[in-house]
Amino acid sequence: MAAVAALPPKAAPFDPETVRADFPILERRVHDRPLVYLDNAATTQKPRAVLDAEDRFYRRHNANVHRAIHTLGNEATVAYEQAREAVGRHLGAADGRGVVFLRNATEALNLVAWAWARRRLRPGDEILLTPMEHHSNLVPWQMVARETGARLRFIPVGPDGALEMDALDRDGLLGPRTRVVAFAHCSNVLGTITPAEELCRRARAVGAVSVVDAAQSVPHAPVDVGRLGCDFLAFSGHKTYGPMGVGVLWGRPERLEAMEPLFGGGEMILKVELESATWNEVPWKFEAGTPNVAGAVGLAAACAYVRDLGQDRIAAHEAALTRLALDGLGDCPGVTIHGPGPGSPRGALVAWSADGVHPHDLAQYLDQEGIAIRAGHHCAQPLMRQLGVVATARASFGLYNTAAEVEALVGAVRRAREFFHA
């Protein structure tokens, strides 16, 4: 047999053209141009495997979960709990016990803030964050700080977009008062990859809990909660090729055990009296009411889809696209790229400012060419202030994007400058 035929399938080069056929929406035209979808950090498109899994659930198995005696109810319960197991294993956990299904990363982060921190923090305690957090990992902590008297502290972000880790000791940011260390694994604006393992280790060393906002990392590379050593990790299904309306909080089971539920109602109880109730086991005690079963099933299908393609191959492909975008946009006159420069670790996105062209105008110009990017503050207003801008343009990549699409983006950004400077 020829050597090449003997290679395992995952060693074959990643071919985005082949996978594009899995995504029906990519056949669309926008303003009579082929759709170039570069807004993956906001939400990703869905492969047929996910669409079919949701469709199959509703067509064949739809019933409410748990406590059902009838066949469909059992099938739905099995599908839902199998999805939990699959998501747990996708995160490197042994099983699904730490997986709480919620609506999105925002709800997952709020659950930790309200059900863990709100009940434990006291005046003088400290919550350590970074100034590049998405509002979803900032505002809940502000609310909890206001209620408990805890203080918010921030690890500075340097001009290169990296966290200034030496400030942890230099400025006494981390110490016995620190109760929570919460940070994005990958910034949704700068693309900075934070030293998550180190932050989790440092948090543990002072007895603080670590909370990883993995909304922008789980979609792009294998994430292993054991290797990270985190207490909590949050992500959204819709950013990782899964459905909207389903998100995950993974919690170390002993942490989840020690927490009180946030919402009361059906599913989350063991026994209810008129005046009191006892709670179901982890993780069900955090899932009050009817869950998004089809969403969970679709998310499990999305996890299987990226695993079958090979997460490392996807990561390598997206890194190549990001390098191409950094080089191409970096060569455009008047463009300032925010975040780590070439050679530093970076997620699959690039945010930039174009001299004399408002990001909203640019995004509208690109839309006329069928190219979807995002423009705005990206739910990171404090970071915008640090960058000295009110908004940026952002292109973010997914497994189905191609080098030709990045070249189309760069060409259109150049034309936009000429148009707006004419």
**Catalytic pick from 186, 200, 230, 379?**
379
Q: Could you tell me which stretch among 116-124, 129-137, 169-177, 408-416 binds ligand PLP (CB under 6 A)?
A: 129-137
Q: Considering only CA atoms, which of 236, 259, 247, 298 is closest in space to residue 80? A: 298
Number of residues that bind ligand PLP (CB under 6 A): 13
CB 106 → ligand PLP: shortest distance, Å?
Answer: 3
Q: Determine if 194 is a binding residue for ligand PLP (CB under 6 A).
A: no
Judged by beta carbon, residue 165 or residue 184, the one nearer ligand PLP is 184
Q: Determine if 213 is a binding residue for ligand PLP (CB under 6 A).
A: yes
25 to each of 19, 31, 48, 347, how far by Cα in Å? 12, 15, 10, 24
Judged by beta carbon, residue 108 or residue 174, the one nearer ligand PLP is 108
- In the beta sheet, which residues pair with residue 250? 99, 233
- How far is the C-alpha of 413 from the C-alpha of 142, rounded, in Å? 37
Among 77, 110, 136, 401, which residue interacts with ligand PLP (rule: CB under 6 A)?
136
Task: Looking at residues 279 to 338 of the shown chain, list those that interact with ligand PLP (rule: CB under 6 A).
Answer: none
Among 61, 90, 134, 394, which residue interacts with ligand PLP (rule: CB under 6 A)?
134
Q: Are 401 and 321 in contact (CB under 8 A)?
A: yes
Q: Determine if 105 is a binding residue for ligand PLP (CB under 6 A).
A: yes
- In the beta sheet, which residues pair with residue 232? 211, 251
CB 249 → ligand PLP: shortest distance, Å?
Answer: 11
Pattern 223-242, binding to ligand PLP, x per CB under 6 A? -------------x------
Q: Determine if 188 is a binding residue for ligand PLP (CB under 6 A).
A: yes
Q: At what angle do helices 311-330 and 293-309 cross, to 10 degrees?
A: 80
Q: Determine if 184 is a binding residue for ligand PLP (CB under 6 A).
A: yes
CB environment 315-338: b (16+ within 10 A), e (fewer)? bebbbebbebbbebbeebeebebb
Among 106, 392, 396, 401, which residue interacts with ligand PLP (rule: CB under 6 A)?
106
Q: Determine if 215 is a binding residue for ligand PLP (CB under 6 A).
A: yes
Which strand (E) or helix (H) includes residue 167? helix 167-170
CB 317 → ligand PLP: shortest distance, Å?
Answer: 21
Q: Determine if 216 is a binding residue for ligand PLP (CB under 6 A).
A: yes
What is 210-253 written as a DSSP string?
EEEE-TTTTTTS---HHHHT-SEEEEEGGGGTS-TT-EEEEE-H
CB 373 → ligand PLP: shortest distance, Å?
Answer: 14
Q: Are 114 and 144 in contact (CB under 8 A)?
A: yes
Please say if 200 is a catalytic residue: no
CB 243 → ligand PLP: shortest distance, Å?
Answer: 12
Among 40, 45, 104, 240, which residue interacts with ligand PLP (rule: CB under 6 A)?
104
Task: Looking at residues 83 to 102 of the shown chain, list those that interact with ligand PLP (rule: CB under 6 A).
Answer: none
CB 68 → ligand PLP: shortest distance, Å?
Answer: 30
CB 84 → ligand PLP: shortest distance, Å?
Answer: 19
Contacts 24+ apart (CB under 8 A), 309-314: 309/14, 309/19, 309/399, 310/10, 310/14, 311/221, 311/222, 312/10, 312/221, 312/222, 313/10, 313/13, 313/14, 314/14, 314/220, 314/221, 314/399
Task: Looking at residues 36 to 75 of the shown chain, list those that interact with ligand PLP (rule: CB under 6 A).
Answer: 41
What is 12-53 written as a DSSP string?
SPP-HHHHHTT-GGGG-EETTEE-EE-BTTT-----HHHHHH
Residues labelled as active-site residues: 379
Residues that bind ligand PLP (CB under 6 A): 41, 104-106, 134, 136-137, 184, 188, 213, 215-216, 236
